[in-house]
Amino acid sequence: MPYTKPIVLLATAAVAFAVAAILGRKLIPLLHKLKFGQTILDIGPSWHKNKQGTPTMGGILFILGMLFAVLLALVFCGTALQFNLFKESVPTQIRLIAGLILALGCGAIGFVDDYVKIRKKRNLGLTDKQKLFLQLLLSFGYGLLLYIGGEGARTFAVPFLGWVDFGIWVIPLAMLIVVGASNATNLTDGVDGLCGSVSVFAAAAFMAVAGIEGAFYQSLMGAALIGGLMGFLVYNLHPAKVFMGDTGSLFIGGTLCAIAFGTGHPLLLVPFGVVYIMETLSVILQVTYFKLTHGKRLFRMSPIHHHFEMGGWSENRIVLTFCGITLVVSGITIALLLIF
């Protein structure tokens, strides 16, 4: 049955979409009732003030959608089809289970951060040190699980070197990439629909790589993430009825890292996450330039989506442009991967 797996992936995406979209009709009014509204920074664009009070923590929608869809797919595959996760090799099991733990752990850190913001009625939740400590602890545990999983779980593709067993060095590698990627996706969440839309294309790119490498379970995670995000975007595209919050943005970063490591291509987070990197570099460059020039600015505002927004771009134009960049860079990268 050559079409079985593609059908399962399509059904998984559809289930995740349906769960997120249906839950949104119930959760958004509940968040309103609980007064779980976003506090807008005074230093942001002045017109963002009209978003004050928009419900946050909407990432719960696609987190639940993705989790339900993945678990349902695993049960269906294990009972009705020929492939069962618990009959797979230990490295395959580790890459999926540890990946799900990582994604949910990142989402949990974001949830705590959002909850503190709401309780204290401010835009700042956990301190930078608190958040970094939790991220390092979680990513250390993830790297440790990959190390324990053996050579098959900690071997990754490196340009010009081929497949390399990182051994114990998989732990610092995981810590570096997970912390960097999750914070980068967090910075990208600043315009209606931006982080969710860009992440759909990034997840699709990793699904393509998972297909090339025969990593079905990572394809499953990618399909569920795409479906969940699309269900969430029903409410998050401009004008947004709900924000994903750190709950959602950190979860996205953790999930993409899990898929990247699971396919054996964590370094592809660079091209597939080109927008996340642009956003992060714009902040670093802005701060550095501001300090070196004693108050001058390199961009109108950072992260860079605000630079374009201050230049007159609409939020929808920013989203479409950044999605286009992700699509082009990812497409070129996949083509090169197939050629070489």
Task: Yes or no: say if 147 and 139 are a contact pair by the CB < 8 Å rule.
Answer: no
Per-residue pLDDT tens over the stretch 61-117? 999 999 999 999 999 999 988 788 989 999 999 999 999 999 999 999 999 999 998
Q: What is the pLDDT of residue 42?
A: 52
The DSSP secondary-structure symbol of 300 reads S
Q: Residue 264: what are its φ and ψ, rounded to 5°?
A: 90, 15
CA angle (36, 38, 43) in 5-degree steps: 160
Is pLDDT above 70 for 240? yes
CB atoms within 10 A of CB 30: 11
Is pLDDT above 70 for 235? yes
Q: How confident is the model at residue 237 (pLDDT cuts 50, 70, 90)?
A: very high
Q: What is the pLDDT of residue 120?
A: 78
The amino acid at 171? I
pTM over 0.85: yes
Task: Yes or no: say if 56 and 77 are a contact pair by the CB < 8 Å rule.
Answer: no
Is pLDDT above 60 for 188? yes
Per-residue pLDDT tens over the stretch 271-329? 999 999 999 999 999 999 999 999 999 999 999 999 999 999 999 999 999 999 999 99
Q: What is the pLDDT of residue 86?
A: 87
Q: What is the pLDDT of residue 45?
A: 64
Is pLDDT above 90 for 37? no
CA angle (74, 233, 104) in 5-degree steps: 45
Q: CA nearest 255: which of 70, 99, 74, 85?
A: 99
Mean pLDDT of 225-231: 98
Task: Yes or no: say if 187 and 313 are a contact pair by the CB < 8 Å rule.
Answer: no
